[in-house]
Amino acid sequence: MADEEGNLPRDDDLFGSLNRLNSLLETLDERAHVLSLAAFAEEELRDLIKAYLMPGEAANKLLEGFSTPLGTLSARIRMAQALGLLTPHQANDLD
């Protein structure tokens, strides 16, 4: 996706968070590994769903914060699947 100025993102922009997660995972025990991956998936699903919503306050009220309708990993998985952004198999893997 291009930014407002029409510039395409650099590889480190696209994979920066994944690269940071990958380097962090090497230092974690199994429990912290699972929790970190779940938090990463939750944030990435938020960004994915947000990309398909109109920008503004209404989208933020759905996505930002735990007590919002799409504030949990489970709700985000269901929404992404309902929007056709995840296959049933991918949603099952994330669950």
Pick the range with the lowest mean pLDDT from 18-22, 52-56, 72-76, 81-85: 18-22
Q: Where are the domains of the chain?
A: 31-94
Report pLDDT for 1: 43
Contacts of 52 (CB under 8 A, 6+ apart): 83, 85
In tens, the pLDDT along 15-54 reads: 677 677 777 777 778 888 788 888 889 988 999 999 999 9
10 has a pLDDT exceeding 70: no
76 has a pLDDT exceeding 90: yes
Task: Please tell me the pTM assigned to this model.
Answer: 0.71
pLDDT confidence of 13, banded at 50, 70, 90? Answer: low
